[in-house]
Amino acid sequence: MARIDYADPSSFNERTRELLSKNRSANIFRMLAHSPVHLEQYCRLGGAIRHRGELDPVVRELAITRTGILCEAPYEIVAHKRIGKSVGVTDEQNAALENWQGASCFDEVQRAALAFADEVVTLKRPTDATFKTIAAKLTPAALVELQLAVGFYVMTSKFLETFSIDMQKPEEII
């Protein structure tokens, strides 16, 4: 059960109702709706990360899901395993994300991105070796997008866990 009540729909302005509708009224957005201005900006940045840019969507979703795993955020993991499947992440890859290092289902770019995500989440910053490996495989724009995706979903995972956002059916989560 969430640690505070979800925002009261009777208090929503038209823009908040529109954003919730676009996002299936998923519980995370219902909680964010306590602050309509932040909900809108969260959706703008999240939309840019997921729908605008050149980073390969499979690489992006693998890194985001791995971030959720490292942050121990089940809601995030469920959501992005589903989203990942919709962009080409295989069931084998989703299943292997807990212990990806020993799995053979990831290509070189995916492995470099997963190592990068691991270090962004668990260290002060990625090691020079890990950074050089991923930087050699991505354009500067895609590298920036990867780091922003991991960082954004660390924040999202922490938000989910801080407020104990209630799990929904996978198809109800954005």
- pLDDT tens sequence across 60-119: 999 999 999 999 999 999 999 999 999 999 999 999 999 999 999 999 999 999 999 999
**104: Cβ–Cβ under 8 A, 6 or more apart, which residues?**
none
Q: Catalogue all structural domains in the chain, each as residue range(s) with its CATH number.
A: 9-51 (no CATH), 57-162 (1.20.1290.10)
- Tokens for 101? 């290092």
Question: Can you give the pLDDT at residue 66?
Answer: 98
Question: Can you give the pLDDT at residue 25?
Answer: 86
Question: Can you give the pLDDT at residue 24?
Answer: 84
Q: Looking up tokens 């969507």, which residue turns up?
A: 57
**pLDDT tens-digit series, residues 125-156:** 999 999 999 999 999 999 999 999 999 999 99
pLDDT at position 170 over 70: no
**pLDDT tens-digit series, residues 52-62:** 999 999 999 99
Answer for the pair 33, 7: CB distance below 8 angstroms, yes or no.
yes
Question: Can you give the pLDDT at residue 135?
Answer: 98
How far apart (Å, rounded) are the C-alpha atoms in residues 119 and 67? Answer: 10
pLDDT category at 168 given cuts 50, 70, 90 is confident
Question: Can you give the pLDDT at residue 117?
Answer: 98
